[in-house]
Amino acid sequence: MIDDGIAVWTEHPTATSGTGLAWMHHRNGEIFVKQPDQEFLAKMLAIASDLDAVVVGDDGEKYTSPDSHGILPAVCRSRTPPITKPWWRFW
């Protein structure tokens, strides 16, 4: 696959002969990743800062710091409705 937005971090601390390589894809102001570790996430956040982009996981979660686990967009927007009656009442 040839795409100008795909990059591989070949000097990742755990990369060994084809395994552990860190892939990222930059498109439309977002850097997409899949299951990044802390080193990779720190590197991507630095790159995203230079590109004025955000780091997004494969499930749409947004990463804001190297130790974050990502925030899913649906979780950010969802609100739990207030409980106004006991759980055993249906009407």
Number of domains in the chain: 1
Report the sign of the C-alpha dihedral through residues 49, 62, 57, 28, in that order.
negative
Give the integer Cα–Cα distance in Å for 47 and 66. Answer: 13
Q: What's the pLDDT band for 75 if we cut at 50, 70, 90?
A: very low
Given this model, what pLDDT does residue 8 score? Answer: 76
Give the integer Cα–Cα distance in Å for 80 and 91. Answer: 19
Strand order across the beta sheet in which 54-57 lies: 6-9, 22-27, 30-33, 54-57, 62-63
Q: Tell me: the pLDDT tens digits for 35-71?
A: 777 888 888 888 888 888 888 887 888 888 877 766 5
Q: Domain limits at 35?
A: 6-77
* Residue 54 is assigned to a structural domain of this protein: yes
Beta-bridge partner residues of 71: 62
pTM reported for the whole predicted model: 0.61
* Residue 65 is assigned to a structural domain of this protein: yes
Q: What is the pLDDT of the chain when averaged over all its residues? A: 73
Given this model, what pLDDT does residue 84 score? Answer: 66
